[in-house]
Amino acid sequence: MKKISAAQTASKGYAVGPVYLVKRQELVIERRSISAEETEAEIKRYQAAVETAASQLEQIADDSEIFEAYIQLVQDEALIAGVIGKIKNGSNAEAAVEDAADEFIMIFESMEDAYMKERAADLKDIKKRLQYALAGIEENPFLELKVPSIIVAEELTPSDTANMDFKNVLGFLTEVGGVTSHVSIIAKGRGIPCLTGVKKICTLVEENTVAAMDAGTGEIYLEPEEDVVAEFMKKKAQFEEQERMMEEESKNPSVTKDGRKFMLCANVGNIEDIKDALSSQMEGIGLFRSEFVYMMKKDGFPTEEEQFEIYKEAALLTKEKELTIRTLDIGGDKGLDYFAFEKEENPFLGCRAIRLCLNMPEMFKTQLRALLRASVYGNIRIMYPMLIAVEELDEANRLLAECKKELDEAGIEYRKDVEVGMMIETPSSVMMADEFAQRVDFFSIGTNDLTQYLLAVDRGNESIARLYDSFHPTVLRAIHHVIDRAHAHGIKAGMCGEFASNEKASPILLGMGLDEFSMSAGSIKTVKYRLRNTSYEEAKKLADQVISKSSAKEVKELLEG
């Protein structure tokens, strides 16, 4: 028996069974120079490969949104232009696809944002599909998957997940791919245990090696002894029972044992996320990260029309439920292909988010107009990120008022009562919560940034990750103060940072009076279960105790106890 314990949880659960090792057919890319006369034929060969790849994807697409996005990627204009350009410069189609796709892959890989980084994997998948289509081969490494197994692979692509028969999938172990990779999302959606970042797993196992995995703790046993198997099977049954029960429970209203209402919302980055979230028990969208609308574009800022269509679709999907759209929060770790940010010593403290938008008023107004126009289709709320001073808020609102005037003059409709709120994610906005609360309709606490700024700990720096702790009394006291000030001025306080989905934190936040918890849709049922089984009166006492503690350690000890 061998134990491995360094892995990242992508989807919790237990699995015991034989390993199915994913083996890939290596495709050697032939490179040759072509003559001017061959150019047209080579372009036709490439175009035929695009059609083949697109029709293969259409066949496996069902109604999966991911594949629709994939088909668009195969037919992406910038990629096609890149490949054709290289063929015209004398490359054969195989080499042109390889090189043009690699250029885009490098751009995605160099992005700091984890979600965008994962899109590089999607492009690699598309590249391979095109290469196979050019070679006239259709690859399916899952043909031999005939019995329920734990899938082990270096990396799994969306095409892989489309090829496999899920009734034979017990779990996933992959070397590469973060928790926002496609396989992680699929695994979470289907409730399949999944661990990523399992170093060298492909070389540690052979076909049919028996493995036992606990995706919650990240433990994996290879060739486990009988007692370990028995223990895992027991835990698996308990876990699945608990999941079923929580799923059922989550259909009940969001009220505590003693009748206090709370609200659970979803964080999203695009239309697909909204569709996914609609199948959870979410009561609204607490955060739509609109920067993804900007990051998906390659050739320039999205136009008013492009944005309007997306926000309108989002509003039509969410209907009367609240749809909180955060205005562009770019800079820091999030870049744009088409915009050259000034080189900064400290980008997280630099010209990001609202600062950049106020520096580029016309660009900002394009978004504000799109949001206002889409507001008539649902219940859009506008939310500004990263504010530190009331002047910034006043300036943003002045631009918003200008947009309203322009729409009035053009006779274009918008909701006159559209709510305007702000993220509380800077220490300054905490200290100025009183003043801000008098000027906005709602607060949403962004603990991801707030923790990094309050503690002066870079949220992305792994070497100091142990210092990044939202249970630090500094953070808890700041949250408490913000909720208190919001309520003093009659506005609601929500939270859309990761902390809102922390099971241990949720009773404290409830006790502090948090009105709205927003998180990735997959976490909603767990938090709902936790809060439905909490008494508000007890949670209030817990919150009081917690904020009087003098260290994160003491807070955690109290919660454990």
Which stretches of the chain bind Mg ion, using CB under 5 A? Answer: 425, 446, 449
Please provide residue 37's backbone torsions phi and psi, each rounded to the nearest 5 degrees.
-65, -30
- Please state the closest distance from residue 531 (CB atom) to ligand PEP, in A: 20
Closer to Mg ion by Cβ: residue 117 or 556: 117
Task: State the residues that interact with ligand PEP by CB under 6 A.
Answer: 287, 289, 329, 425, 446-449, 496-497
Long-range contacts of 531-534 (CB under 8 A, 24+ apart): 531/254, 531/256, 531/262, 531/506, 531/507, 532/249, 532/252, 532/254, 532/255, 532/256, 532/257, 533/257, 534/256, 534/257, 534/506, 534/507, 534/510
Nearest residue to Mg ion, by Cβ distance, number only: 449
Closer to ligand PEP by Cβ: residue 250 or 518: 518
The residues facing 151 across adjacent strands are 20, 172
Closer to Mg ion by Cβ: residue 327 or 375: 327
Nearest residue to ligand PEP, by Cβ distance, number only: 446
Is-catalytic flag, 496? yes
Which residue matches tokens 């835990």?
235
Q: Which does 289 bind (CB under 5 to 8 A by kind): Mg ion, ligand PEP, none?
A: ligand PEP
Set 202, 357, 403, 496: catalytic member:
496
501 and 517 in contact (C-beta within 8 Å)? yes
The half-sphere exposure of 254 on its side-chain side, counting CA atoms within 13 A, is: 18
Residue 539 DSSP SS3: helix
- Please state the closest distance from residue 289 (CB atom) to ligand PEP, in A: 5
Q: How far is Cα 506 from Cα 495, in angstroms, rounded to an integer?
A: 11
Secondary structure of 307-344 in HEC code, one letter for each residue: HHHHHHHHHHHHCCCEEEEECCCCECCECCCCCCCCCC
Closer to ligand PEP by Cβ: residue 269 or 302: 269
Closer to ligand PEP by Cβ: residue 218 or 350: 350
- Please state the closest distance from residue 445 (CB atom) to ligand PEP, in A: 7
Q: DSSP strand E in 348-395: where?
A: 379-384
The residues facing 187 across adjacent strands are none
Set 182, 202, 357, 472: catalytic member:
182
- Please state the closest distance from residue 309 (CB atom) to ligand PEP, in A: 23
Q: Which does 496 bind (CB under 5 to 8 A by kind): Mg ion, ligand PEP, none?
A: ligand PEP
- Please state the closest distance from residue 440 (CB atom) to ligand PEP, in A: 17
The answer to whether the Cα torsion of 433, 436, 440, 445 is positive or negative is negative
Closer to ligand PEP by Cβ: residue 141 or 497: 497
212 and 232 in contact (C-beta within 8 Å)? yes
- Please state the closest distance from residue 294 (CB atom) to ligand PEP, in A: 13
Let me know if 356 is exposed, middle or buried by CB neighbors in 10 A (0-12, 13-18, 19+). buried
Q: Which does 330 bind (CB under 5 to 8 A by kind): ligand PEP, Mg ion, none?
A: none
Active site residues: 182, 496
